Amino acid sequence: MTKNESARPVASPDGQREPEGTGSVFDPTALAAETVSPFPSNPPTARATAEREVATEARLKRWAGCRFALADLPTTSQLWARKLADKVERDNAFTLGSKTPTLMVKGDAAVSAGATDDQLAALTPLDLDGIAALLIEAAAIADDVRRQIGTRSRSLAAQREAAVVPPAPTNLADLLAQPDDEAAYRVGELWPTGGRVLLAAQFKAGKSTLVGNVLRSLVDGDKFLDRFDAVPVGRVALIDTELDTRTLRRWLREQAIDNTERVSVLPLRGAVSTFDILDPATRARWAAQLSGADVVILDCLRPILDALGLSEDKDAGRVLVAFDALLAEIGATEGLVVTHMGHEAERARGDSRLRDWPDAEWKIARGGDDSDDDGRRPRYFSALGRDVSLPEGLLTFDPETRRLAYGEGNRRDSNARAALPELMALIRAEPGTLSKNAAEIRLRDEHAIPQRVARQAIAAAIRSGDLDVTAGPRNAKLLSPGADPFTVEAVGI
């Protein structure tokens, strides 16, 4: 073919000639087929859409009552089954340990996943026995997971305590042959040597002030509360979780401690979460920081529980066990933990383990009632424990030195003493006419004195001789003024 022949127009099958210069057959139908319109020629009508939705709803209702075993789904041959099984297994994985796993699927869920009626009809739905069997299987799986969690939890606890070397058993004869320590108490009558102390105090009752007094006695050898002998130690560590550093510094300076180099102070306010002694590695780091301390004081427990997301009602004991482990790693012989006292009951608030843990429990309580809360309410101190029994006594406070002193008198006697003027005025106005019971009622109704306190005041006045008792009608015990004039100072309670 010549050059001119190749350039000639070629006739198409229908007799039309192709445009010159194309070199190929021109097909207008092919060109039309390649052009796709964005607007469908037959869009679905609203009626068709509604009919489709009604049909789908009918299918959902038809299959809703059917249950199919997850293991029976044709996941290898049908996409809807594979997608549905993957979703269920993913949900089971994310709720492991907190929820019973799902081992069956509902028919309407399969419809929503894309299953056709023919595909579902090919499956065997579960009967009641089959459903019950899968429910039992799911509960068994959940129970097994809980057991695995418990086993792992015990393993972690064992790892946490592994840093403390367990003591070897000692033959009783060898134990008794060992000499006793010269001092049975770190603080006389209150703190046994090698013991743990829990200080429980009411709100704003002065627990931090008492801690400062303890510090001074432990390193300087001063009498604690101006009464109890203290055997000094080489070093004390104070971990404070509540006070601002500036306040803590000022209060400790006012204690005028001589051997300040024997005290390590760690103000943790704002960084309490770092004291996670439940974690063995963290506890080991703290033990290294506090190395050399003979006594460790933790003031106060509650912020640690809050910072670690623990419950005061259930988890306080865990922290105390970890605190014991910390003392062992440090080599400290004694520890003191401060906690808050409950509002309703005068005991350490929270976990009952708190009261089982210490060798001695110290308490600070306020006198008066909440209507008299100007900071001048009297404070009372008491102690109870192993070889420890100190009755409640009045604390006096020197604001210049922040020193406390333990004295005689308790809240019961104090309340009775406060009621004596009203009692004596009442008896003087009606001598020999009021019985004990009548006097109690009059004090209650006319002076708002609790009947229990009125009874205590009457008993105290009779003991002191300020009131005489004479027999009256029907065995009544009538009250009259004693021989001596009444003065509040003369009454001994």
Establish if 353 belongs to a structural domain: yes
In terms of domains, do 237 and 349 share one? yes
**Domain of residue 451, residue span:** 413-490
Which of 145, 137, 140 shows the shortest CA–CA distance to 95?
145
164-178 pLDDT tens trace:
566 678 888 888 888
In terms of domains, do 237 and 136 share one? no
As for how many domains the chain has, the answer is: 3
Stretch 97-107: mean pLDDT, rounded?
Answer: 92
Stretch 104-118: mean pLDDT, rounded?
Answer: 94
Establish if 117 belongs to a structural domain: yes
pLDDT value for 321 = 92
pLDDT-derived band at 414 (thresholds 50, 70, 90) equals low
In terms of domains, do 438 and 404 share one? no
**What is the domain-level CATH number for residue 393?**
3.40.50.300
Structural domain ending residue among the three candidates 348, 375, 409: 409
Apex 66 CA angle, 61 and 68, nearest 5 = 135
In terms of domains, do 389 and 471 share one? no
Which tokens hold the place of 99?
């929820």
- How would DSSP label each residue in 316-353? HHHHHHHHHHHHHHHT-SEEEEEEEBPSSSSSB-S-TH
Which tokens hold the place of 66?
């059917």
Structural domain ending residue among the three candidates 84, 109, 143: 143
Q: How far apart, in whole angstroms, are the C-alpha atoms of residue 449 and residue 416? A: 10
In terms of domains, do 393 and 446 share one? no
Mean pLDDT of the chain: 84
Q: How far apart, in whole angstroms, are the C-alpha atoms of residue 362 and residue 371? A: 26
In terms of domains, do 262 and 383 share one? yes
Establish if 29 belongs to a structural domain: no
In terms of domains, do 243 and 97 share one? no
pLDDT value for 375 = 56
Regarding predicted confidence, which is higher, 479 or 353? 479
pLDDT-derived band at 151 (thresholds 50, 70, 90) equals confident
In terms of domains, do 398 and 440 share one? no
**What is the domain-level CATH number for residue 428?**
1.10.10.10
In terms of domains, do 438 and 481 share one? yes
pLDDT-derived band at 407 (thresholds 50, 70, 90) equals confident
Structural domain ending residue among the three candidates 110, 143, 176: 143
Q: How far apart, in whole angstroms, are the C-alpha atoms of residue 386 and residue 22? A: 112
pLDDT value for 366 = 85
pLDDT beyond 80 at 10: no
Which of 353, 338, 359, 411 shows the shortest CA–CA distance to 381?
411
Establish if 217 belongs to a structural domain: yes
pLDDT beyond 70 at 368: no
| pTM (two decimals) | 0.56
Establish if 242 belongs to a structural domain: yes
38-42, 71-75, 136-140, 275-279: range with lowest mean pLDDT: 38-42
Burial of 254 (0-12, 13-18, 19+ CB in 10 A): middle
Radius of gyration for the alpha carbons in the chain, expressed in angstroms and rounded: 43
Establish if 175 belongs to a structural domain: no
255-303 pLDDT tens trace:
999 999 999 999 999 999 999 999 988 999 999 999 999 999 999 999 9
In terms of domains, do 219 and 98 share one? no
Which of 141, 293, 314, 312 shows the shortest CA–CA distance to 215?
293
pLDDT beyond 60 at 41: no
CA atoms within 13 A on the CB side of 424: 23
Regarding predicted confidence, which is higher, 403 or 175? 403
In terms of domains, do 259 and 189 share one? yes
Polymer length of the chain:
493
pLDDT value for 343 = 46
pLDDT beyond 60 at 374: no
pLDDT value for 34 = 47
pLDDT value for 154 = 73
In terms of domains, do 316 and 346 share one? yes
Which of 239, 210, 453, 230 shows the shortest CA–CA distance to 341?
210
pLDDT beyond 50 at 12: no
Establish if 20 belongs to a structural domain: no
Establish if 28 belongs to a structural domain: no
Which tokens hold the place of 427?
């008896």
